Amino acid sequence: MYNHRARTKFLLSLLSISAFAFLLLTTVKPLKKSPRNTEIPRLHLHKHVQIAHSHCEGTLYPELCVSTLSTFPDLGSKTVPEVIAAAVNQTVGEVRLSASNCSGIRRKLKNLNTLEGRAINDCLELHDCTIAQLQSTISDLSPKKSPAKHYHDLQTLLSGSMTNLYTCLDGVSYSKNHIRSSIEGPLRSISHHVSNSLAMLKKIPGVHSSKSEVFPEYGSTKDGFPAWLSGKDRRLLQASASQIQYNLTVAKDGSGDFTTIGEAIAAAPNSSTTRFVIHIKAGAYFEYLDIARSKTMLMLVGDGFENTYIKGNRSVGGGWTTFRSSTVAVVANNFIARGITFENYAGPSNHQAVALRSGADLSVFYLCRFIGYQDTLYVHSLRQFYRECDVYGTIDFIFGNAAVVLQNCNLYARRPNENQKNVFTAQGRDDPNENTGISIQNCKVAAAADLIPVLSSFKSYLGRPWKEYSRTVYMQSNIGDLIDPAGWLEWDGDFALSTLYYGEYKNRGPGSNTSGRVTWPGYRVINSSSVASQFTVGAFIQGDEWLPATGIPYYSNLTIV
C-alpha cells in the first residue's frame, strides 16, 4: 500500500537538504581544485579553522595543511614553532605506521626476490633515519633553543626527511610484487606533510622570508678554514700523517690495532662529542662499510688517496639497490675523511654502482678520490663539503639531494660504453623549499685519461634534472672542451625544464662559452655576485659555523684563495 505520510515526510526532507545546500553554496567560496601553489580561500568558517588557514598560507598542499592543523586543540594559543612542532610530531606517528606497513609487507610476501628484500630493508632504514631527523626538528623548535637561530638546521632536517622518503620509493620502483603501490600513498602523504612544515618555517618570528631565496653572507675564516671547525680539527687536517695522534690504527700487515677498517669503526665510541681518529695505513681494503648515526665525530685518515683504497663492486646490475650499492656509506654527523680513495669497480656495464654515499650532516672530505662509472658519488642528503678531491665517473656521477659544495676539486669524465653520454651531475631536489643543491666552485671539469683519445666519440654534459626542482651551479670553474655547447641535458622530454635551477657564473676554459647553451626557463647565466654568493660555502652550507673545527682549508665566499 502506498504511504502518503511517508511520501510527504520524504519531500520535506528533500526540501530541507536543498535549502541547506543552497545556503552553503551562497556563503562559501569553492576551493580551487589544485592544492599546489594556490591561495587559501577566505572561508566563512569557525575562527579555529581561519587560524589554520593563516598558518597554511604559502604551503604547497594547503588543504592537507588546514585539515591537519584544524585538529589541534588550542591552536590560537600556540606559537608558530609550537604549531610546526605539533605538525611534525603527528608526522612522526605516520612515519611509524608506514614503517610498520613495510615490515608487514616483508612478512607477508614470501616470494620477495633478493632485490625487493633489499629495497624493503632500505626503506626501513630510511624510515628510522626520518624519525630521528623529525625528532631533532621538534627539539630545535623548542622555545629553549630559539628556533629562529636554528632556521638552517630545521631546513636541513626537513629536507633530509623528504629525501629519505623519495629514496625509499625509488628503491622499490622495479618491484614485480607491486610493492611500490602498497607504500606510495602513505609516503606521498607524509612527504606533503613535511613539505608543509618546511614552508611554515618562514613564518617563525625572526626568520625573514628572504632567507629562503637569499642566504646571508658569511665571511669569517680562521687560518684559511671555516669557523665551524674546532682548532683541534684544523690542526688534524693541516698536519702531516706522522704528526697526528691516532686513537686506533688499521693495517693489513698486522702492525696496527686491527687489520680491517670495519673492526676499527665498531670499536669507536658511540655518540662521541670529541673527535675520534682512525688511521688507515696504505693498502687496498676490500670492505663494505656502513658508518651508522651513532658513530659521531669520526675521522678516517689514510696515507694519501694514491696509497689507501677502500674498494667494492656492488651494483644495480649485480642485484643491489642504488642506495645499498655503495662501497662506503656514512650517516654519522660530523664525519671527516682525509687521504683515502673510495672505489666501486663494478664497471660501466653494471648500471648504478656507488663508491661513496653520504647522508652525514656537516661531513667533510679532504684530499680524497672517488672512482666509479655510473653514480660514483652519492651526495644523498644534509650538508656536505668536498675540498681538493678527485671524482671519476660517467653517467650522473655526482648525484643526490644534499646541500653540498665541491671546492677546488677535479671532476673527470671517463670513457663510457658505446652509445652512452657522460653527465657530471644529477641533482634530486623534490621541493622548492628545500635548501639543497650541488655547488661546484673553482673546480676543474675535464676528461679522464681513457676518454681523451676518443673524446669526439662521446658527448658530455654538466648535468641533467633527476627531480622536479633540480638545482646545480658551476662557479669560477675551469670547464674543458669535452662539454657539449648546449651544456645541459634533458632527463625526459620537458620534465623539470621550467622548475629546475641551473646556473653558471664566471667560469673559464673552452667549455665555458654559454652562447650555445640550452634555453630552458630554469637555466640562467648568473651575472650578479650577490646571486652567486648564495651558493658559496658560507651561505649555502653555513660553513663558517662548522668547517673551522675540521681544520680543512676553504674560502667562505667568492674570493678564491
496-549 pLDDT per residue, tens: 999 999 999 999 999 999 999 999 999 999 999 999 999 999 999 999 999 998
- Sequence-distant (6+) residues with CB within 8 A of 168 are 122, 123, 126, 127, 183, 187
Q: What is the pLDDT of residue 207?
A: 87
Lowest model confidence (mean pLDDT) among 92-106, 215-229, 413-427: 215-229
CB 483 within 8 A of CB 443: no
In which band, very low, low, confident or very high, does the pLDDT at 561 lie, cut at 50, 70 and 90?
Answer: low
How many CB atoms are located within 10 Å of the residue 22 CB?
Answer: 10
Task: Return the pLDDT at 174.
Answer: 76
Residue 10, pLDDT above cutoff 50: no
Identify the weakest region by mean pLDDT among 103-117, 246-260, 281-295, 452-466: 103-117
Predicted pLDDT at 402: 98
Active-site option among 375, 390, 396, 431: 396
Q: Is 229 helix (H, G, I), strand (E, B) or coil?
A: coil
Residue 221: predicted pLDDT: 43
Mean pLDDT of the chain: 88
CB atoms within 10 A of CB 130: 29
Inform me whether the pLDDT recorded for 16 exceeds 50: no
Q: How confident is the model at residue 241 (pLDDT cuts 50, 70, 90)?
A: low
pLDDT of residue 218 exceeding 90, the answer is: no
CB atoms near residue 66 (< 10 Å):
24
Instruction: Give the number of other CB atoms < 10 A from CB of residue 262.
Output: 15
Mean pLDDT (whole number) for 160-171? 96
How far is the C-alpha of 383 from the C-alpha of 375, rounded, in Å?
19
Instruction: Locate the DSSP E strands across 356-482.
Output: 356-358, 363-366, 369-371, 377-379, 383-387, 390-393, 398-400, 403-407, 410-413, 422-423, 425-427, 437-441, 444-447, 460-461, 471-475, 478-479
DSSP-based helix, strand, coil % in the chain, nearest 5: 35, 20, 45
User: What are 375-385's pLDDT values in tens digits?
Assistant: 999 999 999 99
Please state whether beta strands 437-441 and 403-407 pair in parallel, antiparallel, or not at all (unpaired): parallel
* 343-353 pLDDT, tens digit each: 999 999 999 99
* pLDDT given at position 471: 98
- CA angle (358, 361, 365) in 5-degree steps: 55
Q: What is the pLDDT of residues 20-51, one digit of tens each?
A: 333 333 333 443 444 444 444 444 456 888 89
CA 467 vs CA 37, 41, 394, 490, 498: distances in Å: 18, 30, 19, 11, 12
Query: In b/e form, how buried is each residue of 82-115, taking b as 16+ CB within 10 angstroms?
Result: bbbbbbbeebbeebeebbebbeebbeebeebeeb
Tell me the C-alpha distance between 462 and 442, whole Å: 15
Q: What pLDDT, on the 0 to 100 scale, is given for residue 177?
A: 64
Residue 242 pLDDT: 67
Distance CA(1)–CA(10), nearest Å, equals: 16
Among the ranges 114-118, 167-171, 179-183, 238-242, which has the highest mean pLDDT value? 167-171
CB 302 within 8 A of CB 342: no
Kindly tell me if the per-residue pLDDT of 14 is higher than 60: no
492 part of the active site: no
Q: Say what percent of the chain tops pLDDT 90.
A: 76
**Average pLDDT over every residue of 104-120:** 83
Please give the residue that has the higher pLDDT: either 334 or 8.
334
Largest alpha-carbon pair distance within the chain?
Answer: 104
Reading the block at residue 334, the C-alpha cell is: 660530523
Lowest-pLDDT range of 50-59, 126-135, 465-474: 50-59
pLDDT tens-digit readout, 330-340? 999 999 999 99
Which residues touch 480 (CB under 8 Å, ≥6 apart)? 444, 445, 446, 447, 509, 510, 511
